[in-house]
Structure 1
Amino acid sequence: MLAIVCAIGLALAGCGSSKEKRLASYEPESFASTGTHSHNYAASEAQTCEAARRALLSQGYQVKDATAQQVSGVKSFQPENEVHMEVSLRVVCAKDARAAAPSASTDAGKATTAFVSALQDRYALKKTSNSAGVGVGLLGSISLPYSSSDDTMVKVASQTVTDERFYERFYALVDRYLVSQGPDPEPPPKESAADKPDAAKPDAAKPDAAKAADAAKKD
């Protein structure tokens, strides 16, 4: 009896230690770093998101949504025969507080923070076998030596990409496209009152004969 009690105690102790080990390996959110998923650019929001859109297109991403404030794209990979992966990347362009205080390297209104997050989904091939059976009148059901299988892709994992090198390469590529597209085009100058043509005077619209008749009436 004592041996059984000891065995149960050891088993419970083992379960507790394994549970503690699983908890210790989990990394909770610390919210301490802001550099991995964000990057500052000396450009407007529209310029930054346009550069991000071009960067995604240049790498084979299918752009799903693109505005002056955000861009998202997805790209498919197949590392193994029965494994499919998708990487979805989303960029949000927000005006930076530095725009209110221009410096030597940042003009007023030209500071933007790009917030970037990438999600990696993993799919595996799931095979389902189906056997064929045929019903023949009064004889009942007859099983035939034939089977079919339905192959479907099932999502087995989903994880946010946290590799700093992945984001650093993307930020550098966006920077290249910011340089290539140049500054925003200046708006056309507004037409001033001095540039507007004078309104046609009533006498200018009259023919010469009518002008002569008016002059004769005045005399």
Structure 2
Amino acid sequence: MICPSVRLVPLALFLAAGCSTHKPEVFSTEAFDPTSPFERRFKGNSGTVCEAARRALLSQGYLPGPSGERQVTAAKSFQPSEQEHMTIEFTVACIDAGDGGATAYANAVQTRFELRTTPNAFGLSAPIIGALTLPLGTRAESLVKTGAMTISDPAFYDRFWILMAVHAEPELQDSEALSARH
């Protein structure tokens, strides 16, 4: 005679297999497409191109962060609702192409925060009477990071590249005028 619990083993295995749905790995969607929206070629050297990126971001209210001659960082904050806060952190790296031009590589990360409220309480613990917790009637609010993702929308980057080209033109004209004087 087969023990009743042994008969349940195949059923348990079948149910367990149904619960283990395989989620695709995040990296499996990476295309490594040569027509990436994250890069664009410009006339001028890397310093001139990064200066155009810096000016484009400043013109849209982005707060500059630590930057160098060949890299620009900037961030902008948004508050879509009373309970929600978002930031976009922009990084642009500029690399000389060797033919009088440079390539700019841009990456923007959107980070989402939510306002969370937690009640404050006063706790007292004594060995004889145990623990006693009393609510204080006040609440503490804090922003909690709920997610972050790279913005991958090509239209978002196209708008940035167009504005950057507008800011690159005067910069290129200034550098050409300076080189003509010397």
Q: Same fold (TM over 0.5)?
A: yes
Matched AA of 1:177: H
Residue 12 in structure 1 maps to residue 4 in structure 2: no
Q: Measure, in 1, the Cα distance between the counterparts of 2:101 and 2:146.
A: 40
| 1:138 corresponding residue in structure 2 | none
Q: Structure 1 vs Structure 2: percent identity of aligned residues?
A: 30
- Gap change, CA 1:80 and 1:54, over 3 Å in 2: same
| 1:111 corresponding residue in structure 2 | 101
Residues 51 and 177 in structure 1, CA contact (< 8 A), matched pair in contact too = yes
Root-mean-square deviation (CA, aligned residues, Å) is 2.7
Matched AA of 1:9: L
Tell me the number of residue pairs that the alignment of Structure 1 and Structure 2 aligns.
169
Q: Measure, in 1, the Cα distance between the counterparts of 2:114 and 2:136.
A: 26
Structure 1 unaligned runs (5+)? 100-109, 135-140, 190-219
Q: Measure, in 2, the Cα distance between the counterparts of 1:35 and 1:182.
A: 25
Residues 38 and 114 in structure 1, CA contact (< 8 A), matched pair in contact too = yes
Residue 121 in structure 1 maps to residue 121 in structure 2: no
State the 1:42 CA deviation. 1.3
Larger radius of gyration: 1
Q: Measure, in 1, the Cα distance between the counterparts of 2:91 and 2:111.
A: 14
State the 1:130 CA deviation. 1.3
Alignment of 1:88-103 (within 5 A): 88-97=89-98, 99=99
Name whichever structure is richer in strand by fraction.
Answer: 2
| 2:178 corresponding residue in structure 1 | 186
Q: Measure, in 2, the Cα distance between the counterparts of 1:123 and 1:87.
A: 12
| 1:67 corresponding residue in structure 2 | 68
Residues 97 and 103 in structure 2, CA contact (< 8 A), matched pair in contact too = yes
Q: What's the secondary structure of 2:137's corresponding residue?
A: strand
Structure 2 unaligned runs (5+)? 125-130
| 2:88 corresponding residue in structure 1 | 87
- Gap change, CA 1:25 and 1:14, over 3 Å in 2: farther
TM, length-normalised to structure 1:
0.67
Q: Measure, in 2, the Cα distance between the counterparts of 1:11 and 1:25.
A: 26
Residue 49 in structure 1 maps to residue 53 in structure 2: no
TM, length-normalised to structure 2:
0.79
**1 or 2 for the larger relative contact order (CA 8 Å, sep ≥6)?**
2
> CA deviation digits over 1:63-83, x for unaligned, max 9?
113432111100001122211
| 1:170 corresponding residue in structure 2 | 160
